[in-house]
Each structure stands twice: as C-alpha cells, then as structure tokens.
Structure 1
Amino acid sequence: MNTTPELLQAQAKVPPQMQAQTQPGAQPLLRVDNLHVSYGHIHAVKGISFALKEGAVTTLVGANGAGKSTTLLALSGLVKAQSGAIAFQGDSITGLAPHKIVKRGVVQVAEGRATLTRLTVRENLELGAYTRHDRAERADELEKVFALFPRLRERADGLAGNLSGGEQQMLAIGRALMAKPKVLLLDEPSMGLAPIIVQDIFRILREINQQGLTIFLVEQNVRQALRISDYAYVLETGSIVLEGTGASLLGHPDVQKAYLGG
C-alpha cells in the first residue's frame, strides 16, 4: 500500500489514560530507544522509540517494507541493531544472543509459522520448551497449550506438515507458549489465512492476553489488529508517524485513508 503524505505528516496525541505507556517515570516491560537497523545500504529502521506496557496488547502496523518485521527481529536478537537500546524489565538485552533473549522471556512467533513439517505436532511443541529443563513444568505447559488449542491435541501425533494453514499458525503460537514467555512477539499471524480463521486467531490472542500475557503484534490486517490492541504505533518507511490507543487509531482519518479504505 502506498504511503500517503497526510499520514507521514500526521501527529497523534497520546491519550491521558495511556501515558504510562511512554512516560519516562513509568517502567514498561520492554522499552526501545532510538533503534536503527540497516541491511547494507538500506536503512530499514530509522531511530524508532516505543514501549510495551505489561499486560497490554501493543501493535505495530504499516505497509509492506515499512520495517515492522525488522523491528521484531531486532528485539529477538536475530538481526543486529546498528544503534539504539533495547531494555527488558529494566535490563539491557541489546546485542544478546537470541537464545539468551528467549530465556529472559521474550519469545517470537515467526512470520510464515516456521513449523518443522517432518516432525509431529507434539515434537514441534516440545521443541518450544528447549530452554526449560523441568519435565513436570514442560508437561504442564503442554497441557495448557492443548487446552487452548484442542485441535492440536487431536493431531498431536500427526506430522505438522499435514496441518492446515490455520492449524499451523496455532502450532506456531503454541510452540512459543511452551517457552513460558513474558512477552509474545507475533509477526503477521493472519498471513495467508481465510477470514474466519483470522477471526479465530485474533480471538485466541485476546484470550491469551486476558490470561496476563503481554503481546506485541506486527500485522498488516490493520482493522483486526487495532480492534484488539490497547495501544498501537504506525510505522512508515522505518519511522513511527502515529501512536495512540487502538480505538483512537482505528477512528483516525489518516489511518482510515491509508489502511482501511476510506
């Protein structure tokens, strides 16, 4: 989707009820300050700053190529930040290896699901708990995932490659939950799914959040994402151009014009 000049020039006021999301005196669960990421000569992320409030659903929306996935990869340690700082629970995780970031509690569900198709559903889920060594705890988390996704219990001993697209997305989310994250990063969970399945996925995400899990969502389905979001940021060509509550951005004329068809 093409960027509109109006959106690039727009400035959003932070609603008073959400000021704790960005106030320096409030301790967010995760804070990003002046993050820059480049791929060779391509400056993909241009000095963005944002915060994730504990227990909230926060969304980063924008068009293809805006830098959304790159931002997630930087948080996960899968790409190196050119400059800037990333802090989780007040401690720097900038430059940490990905597996150490997972151990801290920051876990990503990759774009495209990345299921291991030649392994069973159960084996995929068990791999998600690779940083945890207590068998009883792992069994308990597996049971919680099966309770959340009954279809995965039914298909537990079948190959992951035989699952439908929606079931594979459930598996990807379940695998991430096996690591018992404190914040769940999701990259385009609605990609390639039928509308009715998309609704199910977003309902499940809201259910997970209501159980206390902090969620950071990167999503092109702007309408669905903003509907479940407590707070959101709009990213355009590597820069944040708008922020506010999900409801306020859903009704923002520039967001409607650029992403919602009028």
Structure 2
Amino acid sequence: MTAALQVRGLMVRYGHVEAVRGIDFTLEQGGITALVGANGAGKSTTLLALSGLVPKAAGSVVFNGEDITRLAPHQIVARGIIQVPEGRAILTTMTVRENLELGAYRCGNNGAPKDFDYVFALFPRLKERLDGLAGNLSGGEQQMLAIARALMAKPRLLLLDEPSMGLAPLLVQEIFHALRAINADGLTLFLVEQNVRQALRIAQQGYVLENGNLALSGSGAELLNDPRVLHAYLGVVSQGNY
C-alpha cells in the first residue's frame, strides 16, 4: 500500500518533560491506523503535533510526499488533515446546522447538499436535530456532530482523538460502525483510543504507545492477540511467560 503519512523521529517536549520520544510510524493510504495506550502515554500529544497545535522538538512529518513538519495549523488543515478533538469541542450555543456549516468553511461554502446528505446518512439523529442548539445534544450526539463537522471539511486524512470517551457501550458501537463506513468510502483514518479492544478490532495497523515510546506495532489482529496487550490493556491474565 501507499503511505499517506510518514512520521520519523517525532519528539515533543513540555518544558523539560519529553511527552513523545522520537517515534516512527506510517499511515497507509485508505487504511485505519490505531494508536493505543494508557492515559498519559502521549497519544493526544502526538495528534496535536501532527496538526501543528504543539511544536515538534524534533522529527519529520511527510503527507502524500510533502514535508509538512513546519507548517502552521491552518496550512495543515488546507492540505486536508482534519482533527476531531478530544472532548468534541462543538460550539454549544450554535445550532447543529451552523456547526456543520463551519466545518465546510475551508471548502469556501456552507456545505453542498450532497455533503449534508452524506453525514445524515451516517448519523440520522443529526438531521432530526438540525435546527436545535448543539449544546442540547446528548454526549453521543455531540460526538456524532464532531465527526460530521470534520467530514464537512472534505478531509484527506481524519485524525480522531478518543471518539468513544464517556459514551455508553451502545453508542460506542454506533460510533465505531460509522468509522468503518467512513473508511470503506476510502478515507484514511488515524484513531487515538484508550478503548484498545474496539480500536484494534477496526484497525488494519496498530501501534502501542507507552510513556512516549512506541512499544509494539503490528496489524490490529496481531496486537489483539499479543499477550502483552492482553495483559496490560485488556485485563487478560497470561498463563505463560512472554
């Protein structure tokens, strides 16, 4: 497969603290890649660095053959790298429609009818709540809106930071079903998640981040069956040594 994004030697510091310690990874074009690990491992920092929202202390980021390491956040967005942030960050005092229209801003319009139809097919509840305030949505509906708003920007790469956080199990299933559908349409996804089982189930490629270092990598299926992942993240007690 062709690489959509290549990251080499990425390092991020907060003062004297190394949050991300010189990691290498590749996102394959049209695939789902998961970055999993415990809280505080450096997963969200990695996404923020890719989006240009925190400075990189070292390393390079190449997107579709272009070095974007030093680009500003708005320039990275202009290349089609769109992030769904942790905590959703929807505009609660605006309507669902207005949030979606803002998502389409980078395309120079308020969104084409076919773009609205696409996100409504994924998330029918948003169409029902279109002219209501986004702040009145449930947590799951707000996550749907955050993803839909990002899709309105016509991304070439979608970065998702903890999309299942705080959601009930049925809503988690609904969100991950939508992510599968989005990827099936050809969009490359980079998924940061604490829900290791769900993330690795849908990912073709996965990486495990521990204390800012990449500890493991492999296909999603391989990592789901790795004794170290089972023991550390899924609570399965190994019967043997590893």
Q: Same fold (TM over 0.5)?
A: yes
- Name stretches of at least 5 consecutive residues in structure 2 with no aligned partner: 237-242
State the secondary structure of the residue aligned to 1:255. helix
Q: Which residue does the alignment assign to 1:261?
A: 235
**1:13-28 correspondence to structure 2 within 5 Å:** 27-28=2-3
Q: 1:47 aligns with which of 19, 22, 31?
A: 22
State the secondary structure of the residue aligned to 1:47. strand
Q: Which residue does the alignment assign to 1:117?
A: 92
Cα distance in 2 for residues equivalent to 1:190 and 1:134:
30
Shift of 1:105: 0.8
**1:180-219 correspondence to structure 2 within 5 Å:** 180-219=154-193
Structure 1, residues 53-112: CA drift from partner, whole Å, max 9, x if none? 011000000001100000000001111101100010010111211111111011000000
Cα RMSD of the aligned pairs, angstroms, is 1.0
Cα distance in 1 for residues equivalent to 2:63 and 2:226:
30
Structure 1, residues 211-240: CA drift from partner, whole Å, max 9, x if none? 111100000000010000100000000000
Query: How many residue pairs end up in the alignment?
Result: 236
Q: 2:6 aligns with which of 31, 38, 52?
A: 31
Amino acid at match of 1:162: N
Q: Which residue does the alignment assign to 2:61?
A: 86
Amino acid at match of 1:79: V
State the secondary structure of the residue aligned to 1:116. coil
Q: Which residue does the alignment assign to 1:95?
A: 70
Amino acid at match of 1:194: A
Cα distance in 1 for residues equivalent to 2:66 and 2:115:
26
Structure 1 segments, 4+ long, off by >4 Å, are: none
- Contact 1:132/1:138 (<8 A) preserved: no
- Contact 1:229/1:246 (<8 A) preserved: yes
Q: TM-score, normalised by structure 2?
A: 0.95
Q: Which residue does the alignment assign to 1:65?
A: 40
Shift of 1:133: 1.4
Cα distance in 2 for residues equivalent to 1:70 and 1:125:
26
- Identity, in percent, stands at 65
Amino acid at match of 2:90: T
Cα distance in 1 for residues equivalent to 2:118 and 2:173:
21
Tell me, yes or no, if structure 1 residue 235 matches structure 2 residue 217: no
Cα distance in 2 for residues equivalent to 1:232 and 1:160:
33
Q: 1:56 aligns with which of 4, 13, 31?
A: 31
State the secondary structure of the residue aligned to 1:128. helix
State the secondary structure of the residue aligned to 2:105. coil
- Name stretches of at least 5 consecutive residues in structure 1 with no aligned partner: 1-19, 21-26
